Amino acid sequence: MAQLRRAEKRFRLATRDYARLAAFRYALRKFLSFSETAAAQAGLTSQHYQAMLIVRGCPEDRRITINDLAQQLLIRHNSAVELVDRLVEEDLVVREPSAVDRRKVQLRLTERGRQVLAKLAAMHRAELQRIGPLLSRMFDELSRPPGEAAAHPARSGRRASPSSEDA
């Protein structure tokens, strides 16, 4: 027990720091749960949605390869190939030969893929607009140096712990 307290003193951690970290992770998990539910209602997995975001988020003058997708999703190349196979089967993505390197294929959303993604992205943006102020406050509190008081603690009028309706 004494060693634990020494570690907490060494890292300047108090119960409120643990509570803030737990509340922030809870808010993130609630958002991820929202995202999974929204994707499922559209007939997709959250990984499908993430992959489609990556493909669409690529600047118009370049294309995403399967290797790029694997790196951004933090998955193995063969898993990305299987994911793209499923997206192609669902008419959400097409493979196109690379103009630069014939060994590579580039990915592009289909018209259906763009429509599905736009609807889901709008839902996600609305949810982030709803919970954004709470996440922002939480992030500000977490990124403040230990022992530093809030600049305007009375302004928020809310505690760091999210209630069921906060996140």
- Residue 158 confidence (pLDDT): 46
Burial of 155 (0-12, 13-18, 19+ CB in 10 A): exposed
CA distance 23 to 43: 30
Nearest to 119 by CA among 36, 33, 39: 39
pLDDT of 167: 40
**Full-model pTM:** 0.79
pLDDT confidence of residue 10: 84
Partners of 105 in the β-ladder: 97
SS3 94: strand
What's the Cα-to-Cα distance from 144 to each of 16, 140, 148, 149, 156, rounded to whole Å? 13, 6, 6, 8, 16
- CA dist 159 and 12 (Å) reads 20
Per-residue tens of pLDDT for the chain, all 167 residues: 676 688 788 888 888 989 999 999 999 999 999 999 999 999 999 999 999 999 999 998 889 999 999 999 999 999 999 999 999 999 999 999 988 888 889 999 999 999 999 999 999 999 999 999 999 999 899 888 876 755 554 444 444 444 444 44
Q: What angle do CA 37, 72, 109 make, to 5 degrees?
A: 65
Q: What CA–CA distance (Å, rounded) separates 102 from 154?
A: 61
CATH code of the domain occupying 16-141:
1.10.10.10
